[in-house]
């Protein structure tokens, strides 16, 4: 009788091998998943910022836009360096028609510049940007009311171009974002800041901010993006016009779901290909792969993973990302399965090969004609 294909000792040995090889990558994967759960949920009304078209910004999103404002402050998201979590923004400041009049009046009382302050709500440093009155007054008056975004796409495009054209002050600023780059391709980044604008008279900035009862400038806050790799979701400011002096700038950026699915799908192709070939050969061809065939298949899969990693993982990301851990889990699983295959099935292969040799070596029994011996010519007597 043919021995059982799988024995208890072989099954236990295979289980121990799987646990030994896969324990470390599985633990690392669990730690990566657990540490990447930390993005704060957005509050108030949430909108998706339109992605860029060609080389232009996408349609602006109005974080806060009262009926009357002195300044139109626009943040344009440009790039993100995952290695440092620094995002580069183009900050545009323009004065409305009402704002130009207010700045002239303030100038008569000794005020000379606008102090734009970006405060962090998570304990990071404060960013201060000084904007001279003369820069804003010399440019065309900006319009940043909510009515500019009503209508078709052409109207939104005109509004975007107006923001870029009427901004009297432009600067680029790096802002630190909280995030989890090691969770790639599920990495996320968030900003939790607030934006305020003050009129200053040349005194020390700290004193100017502490004594701002009569120099706070009502402003509109607008955000748009020029980065198509990281879609943005922003929380709108739900404050009333009486509280319109300090605007929360809160948004999250992450990779599109289709990109995340595509990355994992491509990463799993070598493993799935080898597994599919083995299942097909065992199920339909009724043949068990030899140990050297399994070894060659595993080696080829491991070689195929190296160039996939270089293509899928951006070079600016940290060395050990979630995708790297997924690759290492695949390699550990393949090595463990191949060793378990060699340990579990060699006896079956040997028995089959011995039986085949014995069958081919057994002579065919000679036929006898009534038990009569044959003569020298092979004919019966």
- pLDDT single digits (tens) 206-242: 455 555 445 888 888 999 999 988 999 998 887 655 5
Model pLDDT for residues 150-174, shown as the tens digit of each residue:
556 777 777 788 888 888 899 999 9
- Sequence-ordered strand ranges (E) for 69-218: 71-81, 86-95, 113-120, 127-132, 169-176, 178-179, 188-200
What is the per-residue pLDDT for 348? 46
pLDDT band at 143 (very low <50, low <70, confident <90, very high): confident
Residues whose CB falls within 8 Å of the CB of residue 14, separated by 6 or more in sequence, listed in order: 340, 343, 344
Model pLDDT for residues 183-213, shown as the tens digit of each residue:
999 999 999 999 999 998 766 554 555 554 4
Residues whose CB falls within 8 Å of the CB of residue 78, separated by 6 or more in sequence, listed in order: 87, 88, 89, 90, 172, 226, 227
| Among candidate residues 370, 292, 295, the one with its CA nearest the CA of residue 337 | 295
Determine the average pLDDT of the residues in 125-145.
85
- Domain layout of the chain by residue ranges: 8-35+259-350, 46-255
pTM for the model stands at 0.77
Question: 185 preceded by cis ω (within 30°)?
Answer: yes
Paired tokens of 42: 């957005």
Of residues 249 and 40, the one with the higher pLDDT is 249
| Among candidate residues 82, 17, 28, the one with its CA nearest the CA of residue 327 | 28
Determine the average pLDDT of the residues in 320-348.
79
Model pLDDT for residues 255-278, shown as the tens digit of each residue:
999 999 999 999 988 888 877 877
What is the per-residue pLDDT for 15? 77
Residue that the structure tokens 């130009």 belong to = 100
Q: What are phi and psi of 108, to 5 degrees?
A: -70, -20
CA distance 268 to 255: 19
| Among candidate residues 52, 152, 166, the one with its CA nearest the CA of residue 100 | 166
């Amino acid at each position: 009788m043919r021995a059982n294909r799988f024995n208890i000792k072989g099954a236990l040995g295979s289980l121990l091998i799987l646990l030994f090889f896969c324990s470390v990558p599985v633990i690392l994967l669990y730690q990566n998943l657990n540490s990447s759960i930390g993005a704060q949920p957005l509050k108030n009304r949430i909108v998706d910022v339109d992605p860029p078209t060609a080389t232009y910004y996408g349609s602006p999103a109005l974080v806060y836009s009262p009926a009357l404002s002195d300044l139109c402050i626009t943040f344009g998201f440009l790039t993100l360096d995952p290695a440092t979590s620094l995002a580069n923004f183009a900050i545009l400041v323009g004065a409305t028609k009402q704002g130009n009049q207010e700045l002239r009046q303030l100038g008569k009382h000794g005020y000379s510049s606008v102090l734009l302050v970006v405060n962090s709500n998570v304990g990071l440093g404060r960013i201060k940007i000084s904007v001279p009155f003369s820069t804003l007054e010399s440019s065309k008056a900006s319009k940043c009311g909510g009515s500019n975004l009503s209508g078709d796409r052409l109207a939104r495009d005109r509004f975007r171009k107006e923001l870029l054209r009427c901004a009297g002050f432009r600067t680029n600023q790096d802002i630190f974002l909280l995030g989890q780059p090691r969770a790639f391709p599920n990495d996320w980044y968030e900003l939790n800041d607030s934006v305020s604008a003050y009129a200053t008279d040349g005194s020390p900035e700290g004193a100017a901010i502490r004594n701002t009862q009569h120099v706070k400038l009502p402003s509109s806050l607008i955000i748009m993006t020029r980065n198509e790799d990281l879609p943005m979701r922003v929380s709108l400011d739900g404050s009333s016009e009486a509280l319109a002096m300090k605007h929360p700038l809160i948004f999250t950026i992450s990779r599109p779901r289709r990109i995340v699915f595509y990355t994992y799908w491509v990463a799993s192709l070598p493993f799935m290909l080898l597994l599919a070939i083995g299942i097909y050969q065992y199920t339909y061809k009724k043949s068990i792969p030899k140990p050297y065939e399994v070894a060659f298949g595993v080696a080829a899969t491991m070689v195929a993973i190296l160039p996939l990693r270089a293509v899928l993982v951006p070079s600016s990301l940290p060395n050990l990302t979630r995708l790297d851990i997924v690759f290492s889990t695949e390699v550990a699983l393949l090595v463990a399965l191949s060793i378990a295959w060699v340990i579990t099935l060699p006896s079956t292969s040997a028995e089959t090969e011995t039986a085949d040799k014995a069958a081919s070596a057994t002579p065919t029994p000679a036929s006898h004609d009534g038990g009569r011996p044959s003569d020298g010519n092979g004919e019966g007597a």
